[in-house]
Structure 1
Amino acid sequence: MERALWGLRPLKALLIIYSFLFPNFLLPFGIKVNPACNPYKHTYDACFIKWVEGYLEPLTGETTLPGTKSTVDPAVRAKAKAEEYEKLCGESWRVYKDCVWKAVKDKDLMPLLTQAREENPLLSPNSEPTSSK
């Protein structure tokens, strides 16, 4: 029996939505926003995994000896990898994301998502977590 999403706490609802927006984000609850998005997820996952494998390797044509520094500027490499991602996976990501967001809207999950964001805001990479004392 599939559980209804309405009784979920906001953080749990946020985790469910993130599990679809970020395919490599693990969700232990086993709840699906829309199983019809699964084929798009699998297509995107396969593309993303292939791209990450390439991201972890040097750029094509880049040669460095062990113990020497890379000759490629990190900013240039990052830009090249971003362009490669867009070329290889951009369309599959947009199709998958659109499917998930449609399901979020169709199931009226936006109020839960908004509440979860207010109660548990995502921190920017440069911000320090605050503790409530």
Structure 2
Amino acid sequence: MDSLEPKCTPLKNSYDACFNLWFEKYLTLTANYESGNDRKRVLARSKEQYEKDCGLKWLQYHSCLNEALDSRQLKPLLEAARNEDPLPEPSKLEKSTRSN
């Protein structure tokens, strides 16, 4: 899928490929550790690996996308949509999915 801004598409594709590769490894690793300190260590290492491999790619894509949002004057519309129908906070979302 292309980015909102065509010049950002190569950055998006690079980040998406990096993230997908990282996420596949993450799922494989975490499936082996259901709880405890080993799981915490694996998650911490996985986060560090993500930052090392994909962090810069995300920042580059995010920067390009923000420029596109500014140039197209879309930020006020996004902010209005967020105010009108905000996403739930992660902690509230977790509680609602646990109760279902």
Pick the TM interval, shorter chain: 0.7 to 0.9
Q: 3, 18, 21: which is aligned to 1:50?
A: 21
Query: RMSD over aligned Cα, in angstroms?
Result: 2.8
Q: 69, 78, 83: which is aligned to 1:104?
A: 69
Query: Which residues of structure 2 form unaligned runs of 5+?
Result: none
Q: Number of aligned pairs?
A: 93
SS at match of 1:127: helix
Partner of 1:82: 47
What amino acid is aligned across from residue 115 of structure 1 in structure 2?
A: A
Query: Which residues of structure 1 form unaligned runs of 5+?
Result: 1-22, 24-29
Counting helix residues as a fraction of each chain, which structure ranks higher?
2
Q: Deviation per CA, 1:31-66, whole angstroms, max 9, x where unpaired? A: x5311110001101111111011101228xxxx7xx
What amino acid is aligned across from residue 62 of structure 2 in structure 1?
A: K
CA–CA distance in structure 2, aligned partners of residues 56 and 40 of structure 1:
24
Tell me by how many angstroms 1:108 deviates.
0.9
Partner of 1:95: 60
CA–CA distance in structure 2, aligned partners of residues 69 and 109 of structure 1:
42
TM-score by length of 2: 0.79
CA–CA distance in structure 2, aligned partners of residues 120 and 96 of structure 1:
26
Tell me by how many angstroms 1:78 deviates.
1.3
Partner of 2:4: 33
Partner of 1:14: none
Tell me by how many angstroms 1:70 deviates.
7.3
